[in-house]
Amino acid sequence: MRNFLLKCLNLDGGDEKNSTRRRSLLIDKELNREKRLNRRQVKILLLGAGESGKSTFLKQIRIIEGEVFTERALDDFAATIRQNILMGMKVLLDAREKLGIPWGDAQNQTKAIRIMSADPELTMQNASHFRGLLPAIEVLWRDEGLRVAFERRREFQLGDSVKYFLDQLARIGRVDFVPTNLDVLHARKATKGIIECLINIQGVPFQFVDVGGQRFQRQKWYQCFESVNCILFLAAASEYDQVLLEDRQTNRIIESCDIFSTFVNNTIFAQIAFMLFLNKTDLLEEKFRSCHISHFFLDFTGDPECFEDVQAFILGLFQARIHRMRQEKSGKAVYHHWTSVIDTLHTQRIFTNVKEEIRKEHIKELGLL
């Protein structure tokens, strides 16, 4: 960096020795300024399995901090929403057939054939084409057989936001449709590669790093570990009854626990603030009474219809993975929060606490006072 700046600076006047000295002083001043800025910057790494809510959390922070999405960004989100709707409907139609669920109205088979043959890329890019498919999608979503398939969604892979969008078809299908903040938060696009976002929060630069959570993406995580101040690990607490998309066998919460254990106990992160976000509590609360956790975890001994018992068990699965060595040698607690990052006010309250916890952990080295 220093040599690069020496080549770039071109100062006239004076003898060569004085000119070189002036250049050197300017470079030292610039490097010290950069060092102070980097020292103040808080780097937060978002980790977790696929569909745990990392990207949604990052979008939520941008909204909370007052970012207004550009027209182009909103067009991109609208295209993603169209794709989410079509692909979600295709998954439901395929599941209905494979599960042997009869149609509520047999005449809907013709509409299903049309939707199954629709081009996702064309639907994503062409709003007019999407609107041409909407009447069929609306009828299919009302079909009793498809609703039965939806109720059995734990038996196949269906995105959490599909129902939200299918219930909003009339609004989304309008020619003048512009996604709301809530639509943006529900829009699902798998993270590929590494996404970095710098947000100035109360005068402190926060650098958020979001990396894909699917198994094939995780080798990229190690590229992001330098100068990390805090790790936010997100796990979808509602997924106790679901299996991974990658192998169709591994329980999703067990997968999250395994990943969590790998990082929370790594000596590299012993002196780094580590926070566990048990996410999607809204979905957990919707399902725990009708889908007992005891059917999927035989060691559950509480009341499966008591929300506090279910929460305590899920939290215990993660806490049991924290090795005593970390607790004794690092002296740093692993904080946890029950979250629903789709909820703006709730996330705002949680992030206020997170900022305070980071401040306490790193008050001297980050210069937050």
Q: What would the mean pLDDT of 190-207 be, rounded to a whole number?
A: 82
From 56, 80, 281, 347, the catalytic residue? 56
More confident residue, 91 or 189: 91
What's residue 5's pLDDT? 45
Q: Determine the residue type at 19.
A: S
Confirm whether 51 is a catalytic residue: yes
Question: How many CB atoms are located within 10 Å of the residue 186 CB?
Answer: 24
Instruction: Give per-residue pLDDT as tens, 289-320.
Output: 999 999 999 999 999 999 999 999 999 999 99
What percent of the chain is predicted at pLDDT more than 70? 81
pLDDT band at residue 4, thresholds of 50, 70 and 90?
Answer: very low
Q: Is residue 154 among the annotated active site residues? A: no
Q: Give the model's pLDDT for residue 13.
A: 47
Residues facing residue 232 across a β-bridge:
46, 275
Please answer whether residues 112 and 140 qualify as being in contact, where contact means their C-beta atoms are separated by less than 8 angstroms: yes
Q: Catalytic residue, from 160, 183, 210, 241: name it.
A: 210
Phi and psi, residue 279, nearest 5°: -95, 170
Share of the chain above pLDDT 90, in %: 59
From the candidates 41, 168, 214, 319, give the one annotated as an active-site residue: 214
Q: Mean pLDDT throughout 120-129?
A: 92
Could you read off the pLDDT of 256-289 as tens digits, one per residue?
999 999 889 888 888 888 899 999 999 999 999 9
pLDDT in tens, 111-122: 999 999 999 999
pLDDT of residue 9: 47
- Which of 38-47, 95-104, 248-257 comes out lowest in average pLDDT? 38-47
* Mean model confidence pLDDT for the chain: 86
Tell the residue number behind the tokens 């300024």, with chain if given.
33
pLDDT tens string 354-364: 887 776 665 55
Phi, psi of 174 (to 5 degrees): -70, 150
Sequential DSSP letters for 125-181? H-HHHHHHHHHHHHHHHH-HHHHHHHHTGGGS---TTHHHHHTTHHHHTSTT----H
pLDDT score of 368 more than 50: no
Average pLDDT rounded to a whole number, residues 136-141? 98
User: Distance between CA 252 and CA 86 in Å, rounded?
Assistant: 25
Please answer whether residues 203 and 41 qualify as being in contact, where contact means their C-beta atoms are separated by less than 8 angstroms: no
Q: Which CA distances in Å does 139 have to 104, 109, 112, 158?
A: 11, 11, 10, 19
Does 223 score more than 50 pLDDT?
yes
User: Distances from the Cα of 357 to the Cαs of 44, 230, 272, in angstroms?
Assistant: 13, 10, 12
For 40-47, what is the mean pLDDT? 86
Confidence at residue 329, expressed as pLDDT on a 0 to 100 scale: 62
Active-site annotation holds for 214: yes
In the residue annotation, 56 being an active-site residue is answered as: yes
Q: Is the pLDDT of residue 195 over 80?
A: yes
Q: Out of 82, 96, 153, 188, pick the active-site residue.
A: 188
